[in-house]
Amino acid sequence: MQTNPFDHDGFREECGVFGIWRHEDAASHTALGLHALQHRGQEAAGIVAFDGRRFNTHRALGHVADAFETEQVMSQLKGYAAVGHVRYATFGDTVLRNVQPLYADLSFGGFAIGHNGNLTNARSLRQRLVKSGCIFQSTSDTEVIVHLVAISAYSTVLDRLIDALRQIEGAYSLVALTEHGMIGMRDPLGVRPLSLGRLHDGTWILTSETVALDIIGAEFVRDIAPGEIIIINDEGIESIHPFPPARRRFCVFEHIYFARPDSMVEGLSVYDVRKRIGAELAREMPVPADVVVPVPDSGVPAAIGYAAEAGIPFELGIIRNHYVGRTFIEPTQHIRNLGVKLKHNANRLIMEGRRVVLVDDSIVRGTTSIKIVQMVREAGATEVHMRIASPPTTNPCFYGVDTPERGQLLAANMDLEAMRKHIGVDSLAFVSMNGLYRAVGERNGRNDEFPQYCDACFTGNYPIPISDQQSGWESAQLSLLAESA
């Protein structure tokens, strides 16, 4: 598959999971749910359905619409229950054997599982399992969970799962399907999201984000709690908490970038949080200007908040072309240099002769920021000030998000003034950690002793051990990250 030379140089989305129990059109509803979660993973998609006798599977590379667009494909996915997954591989190639949900015939019957997150001790577990005779069919860390369930000495599926989860480290939201029910799980710190929803006919849904409930007309019931396992079957719904209580550390970048703005995440409107981040930026780092312009699309809510707080007009000074997908064009350096203009175009009438505040969600490598700023200057802006709706990204994520190595992170290698000069702006400012925390509802800002969120990409404070890294397996772990969700 040809890679896209015009991709944004920022964070890559994670993955998305969806599950539904007891609906005559389970696979169709799952495909719709995955459409709503497409922003979380655009490399591959899969659905496993169960019809009471057999599991029916279809997995494919590409977008959901491509994978499930034909009546022939959907007609094969018969069943009253289904789980689905959209995937983004963080490094390396995406191959069909790694597309989720993974499925295996185990001693107790069929078992399908979809995973959003990353296991930080997957390498050591994998080595142990291979030595014991397990044969891996993929390079996904999710398959480690499948093998741990398969070899567990416990008798019930639930006890086998708990046994497996006690051995893994990392961040995860999991949705599993067996012949007897659907199971949803979150890691004890609740780093990755998972929500419970319900249709009026009593059908239960598990999903990464509430937008997947909206698209099928389901109501949001609640978020699955950190460390909670929820079991859904024809007898109803059961919740258990098999892990010791822990301080929750939900990924704060879900609020900044990953989640869709029309989602509710951990009880908060993502859209409102992003506007509040923009307002915090305007209060913390104001600058005289004539117009506030978002870098589309992720910078829009923060720019609205900034403009409202600063009393400066908000305008769409940069227009995004939504139809730049994968390309047959050979990605030469010349074409790469043109890429930003194919994806974004300056609205000259908005910016010519004006002092512009550009608002974006983050700066990672900075390559796209340089090109955007150059484009705005070429459109006639007299001053360009950049405001970023997150603190400086100084550390990679090991919990299921694609971030470059630390040496490629601009903020890890330059101070603020050096970054400003490198990007070519008249001023550069990031929201403070306390400002970010105030925006997500923590009135007193960040509690440095007991942080309320996972913010390791900004602070280097990793709340879950990164065992494979600490054991000196960095190159191997990066290989696993390539295939994890």
Closest by CA position to 123, among listed 106, 136, 112, 114: 136
- The answer to whether the beta carbons of residues 316 and 347 sit under 8 Å apart is yes
Asked whether 69 and 39 are in contact (CB, 8 A), the reply is no
Instruction: Give the CB-side neighbour count of residue 183, counting CA atoms within 13 A.
Output: 23
Name the DSSP letter for residue 258.
Answer: I
Indicate the SS3 state at residue 82. strand
Note if 457 is an active site residue: no
Say how far apart CA 458 and CA 229 lie, in whole Å.
Answer: 30
**Distance between CA 20 and CA 197 in Å, rounded?**
9
Round to the nearest angstrom and report the end-to-end CA distance of the chain. Answer: 19
Contact 356, 287 (CB under 8 A): no
Nearest partner of 88 among 20, 143, 40, 152, judged by Cα: 40
DSSP output for 273-335? HHHHHHHHHHHHS----SEEEE-TTTTHHHHHHHHHHHT--B---EEE-TT--S-SS---HHH
Q: Quick one: which H or E segment has residue 184? A: strand 182-186
Helix 416-423 with 367-378: angle, nearest 10 deg: 50
Question: In sequence order, which residues have a C-beta less than 8 Å from that of residue 223 and are 6 or more positions away?
Answer: 193, 194, 195, 196, 266, 267
- DSSP symbol at 107: T
Active-site residue among 15, 251, 454, 457? 15
Residues designated as active site: 15
